[in-house]
Amino acid sequence: MAKALSLFSITPSGDGYELHIEDEDGEVLELVASFEQLDLISEEIDRQLDDDEDEQLSADEEPGDEDEE
């Protein structure tokens, strides 16, 4: 079962970046990533958030939700 994210941080380290991911139980996962890898992560996060926003806007525009004056 997936655990809830508690803390996430990124710090520069040498030629890359250190990612620190802490879960709700206090367990920490530390990873090293390159700029290119962080860029891919960023693009995927943006894509997912854009999709979610589009879905939310579509739900808000369903028939019957308009304000009548």
Residue 69 pLDDT > 60:
no
Which positions ≥6 away from 37 have C-beta within 8 Å? 16
User: Cα dist. 15→5, 9, 30, 47 in Å?
Assistant: 26, 17, 16, 26
The pTM is what?
0.69
What pLDDT score was predicted for residue 67? 58
Q: Are 14 and 33 a contacting pair, CB within 8 Å?
A: no
Mean pLDDT of the chain, nearest integer: 89
**CA dist., res. 65 & res. 12, Å (int):** 47
Instruction: Read off the pLDDT band of 60 (50, 70, 90).
Output: confident
**CA dist., res. 44 & res. 57, Å (int):** 20
Residue 4 pLDDT > 60:
yes
